[in-house]
Amino acid sequence: MPQEIKLESLDLAAIIRDGDHIVWGQGAGEPATLVEKLLEQRHRIGHASVFLGGVRSRRTLQHEHADVLNFTSLSAIGSLRGFARDGLLRIVPCHLSQIPGYFERGIFPADVVFVQLSELDARGEYSFALGHDFQLAAMKRARVVIAEVNDQVPWTWCDGGVDLSLIDYIVRTSRPPVEIRAQALGPVEQAIARHVGRYIEDGTTIQIGVGAIPDAVLASVGDRRDLGFHSGLISDRVADLMECGVMTNARKPLDPGIAAAGCLVGTRRLYNFSHCNPSIRLFTPSYIHNPLVLGRLGKIVALNSAIEVDLTGQINAEVAAGAYIGAVGGQVDFVRGAQISPAGHSIIALPASARDDAISRIVARLEDGVVTTARSDADIIVTEFGAAELRGQPLAERVRRMVAISHPNHRERLEREAHEIVQRGG
């Protein structure tokens, strides 16, 4: 059984060794108290490396913490952008579906793992609460696992449950979980949602990413019936759709009656709805992001975003103006998985322009040459000006369709540049 340690007595310097590799969960699943203790005690511990997840919900880390800690991440989303800009973050481009296997094979080292758990339920079992991500694979490789048991997080159904034999120490805390609120929806997001909605029929299983666009899409499908859900994250809007009987998951070929996700990204409303709710189950990326699993979901629409898309369908979701601000994440997993399904669609949705329409996000060539998703995998690109269906289309037709959904201010220039692209075959 794990050894319980009072928070005020927790001496991480007696547990963590100089040179260790430390891993903790991402988003709202971050064990914040353990992280704060690590930062306070880092000079007594010595040099260590930290692996961070792809979604950051807190601003706990500051540049000063990089004096003895080295940080590695899958992305530079949110508060990590400053770290990446200043050269304090090592980025590993990889698909989310690969991460558990990387830990299992030791490609990603894990000596010490911090994990946040809920309190015991009536059956005497813990849960991973807000996130069932890659930390389970890391726990199996770690020398030491420290669990922060927070009595203010929900108990959620997690595939496989929590194996207490993997946990060495338990620290009990009581603090409100981070709440990640939806962004305001404007006319651009609502226009994009209308175009995406054409592909969402009764019985469709939906996958979403983060941001205002997926929230707008979910807000627009309240008249559908028996929608399903299978995604890396679950939001407040999903709870709304489940509660009002729109998202029943009844027609899903896999996990019928269950909204399958990797983590909770929302507010107390979502956390309360998810508490001990058997209609919501958390899985690891090995399942949620597995293209072969996705291909068995039948009528699935995978919705993701991008920084820019070129006229032939190459998608950049990572770098803007030379700065790493995004991630590979689960985009390619879902793009390919949705297309394995005969009835599936992969949609990349983004505003057609940025900076008060001064910059086109539909481009002739990707500015930094970074391709997150290849044009051979592109299916449907959506902006507020329409949907460009690219699957199976030759380059000239792709270019024509992409120009048609670009911002009107940039179409004439894109048409001139497109002529050269078509002439040289892309």
- Per-residue confidence (pLDDT) for residue 410, from 0 to 100: 97
- Per-residue confidence (pLDDT) for residue 424, from 0 to 100: 67
Q: Model confidence over 104-157: pLDDT tens digits?
A: 999 999 999 999 999 999 999 999 999 998 989 999 999 999 999 999 999 999
- CA Rg value for the chain: 22
Cβ(271)–Cβ(177) under 8 Å? Answer: yes
Q: Model confidence over 14-56: pLDDT tens digits?
A: 999 999 999 998 888 889 999 999 999 999 999 999 998 765 5
- Per-residue confidence (pLDDT) for residue 29, from 0 to 100: 87
What long-range pairs does 173-178 form, CB within 8 A, spacing at least 24?
173/7, 173/33, 173/148, 173/149, 174/150, 175/32, 175/33, 175/150, 176/152, 176/268, 177/28, 177/129, 177/130, 177/150, 177/152, 177/153, 177/268, 177/271, 178/27, 178/28, 178/30, 178/32, 178/57, 178/58
Say if residue 414 is in the same domain as residue 267: yes
The torsion angles phi and psi of 33, rounded to 5 degrees, stand at -65, -40
Q: What integer is the mean pLDDT of 361-385?
A: 96
Counting the structural domains of the chain, the total is 2
Say if residue 276 is in the same domain as residue 216: yes
pTM: 0.95
The torsion angles phi and psi of 162, rounded to 5 degrees, stand at -105, 120
Structure tokens at 166: 């993997």
Write down which residue in 124, 149, 173 finishes a domain: 173
Say if residue 241 is in the same domain as residue 310: yes
Q: What 3-state DSSP class applies to 234?
A: strand
Range of the domain at 129: 3-173
Q: Flag the least confident range among 180-194, 254-268, 361-375, 412-426.
A: 412-426
Cβ(228)–Cβ(252) under 8 Å? Answer: yes
Element (H, E) at 52: strand 48-52
Q: Flag the least confident range among 86-100, 229-243, 262-276.
A: 86-100
Say if residue 281 is in the same domain as residue 391: yes
Instruction: Say which CATH number the domain at 153 has.
Output: 3.40.1080.10
Residue 179 lies in a domain: no
- Asked if residue 57 has pLDDT above 90, the reply is no
Q: Model confidence over 147-192: pLDDT tens digits?
A: 999 999 999 999 989 999 999 999 999 999 989 888 889 999 999 9
Say if residue 358 is in the same domain as residue 401: yes
Write down which residue in 140, 173, 206 finishes a domain: 173
- Per-residue confidence (pLDDT) for residue 28, from 0 to 100: 84
- Asked if residue 1 has pLDDT above 80, the reply is yes
Say if residue 217 is in the same domain as residue 141: no
Structure tokens at 189: 């997001």
- Asked if residue 420 has pLDDT above 80, the reply is no
Write down which residue in 149, 173, 197 finishes a domain: 173
- Per-residue confidence (pLDDT) for residue 109, from 0 to 100: 96
The average confidence (pLDDT) of the chain is: 93
- Per-residue confidence (pLDDT) for residue 245, from 0 to 100: 97
- Per-residue confidence (pLDDT) for residue 307, from 0 to 100: 96
Say if residue 248 is in the same domain as residue 354: yes
- Give the Cα-Cα-Cα angle 202, 205, 209 (nearest 5 degrees): 125
Say if residue 231 is in the same domain as residue 267: yes
Say if residue 216 is in the same domain as residue 363: yes
Tell me the one-letter amino acid at 416. R
Instruction: Say which CATH number the domain at 250 has.
Output: 3.40.1080.20
Tell me the one-letter amino acid at 323. A
Say if residue 201 is in the same domain as residue 146: no
- Asked if residue 361 has pLDDT above 60, the reply is yes
Say if residue 57 is in the same domain as residue 155: yes
- Pairwise pLDDT comparison (84 vs 95), residue with the higher score: 95
Residue 317 lies in a domain: yes
Structure tokens at 204: 């469709």
- Per-residue confidence (pLDDT) for residue 55, from 0 to 100: 57
Q: What percentage of the chain exceeds 70 in pLDDT?
A: 97
Taken in order 194, 200, 205, 207, is the CA torsion positive or negative?
negative
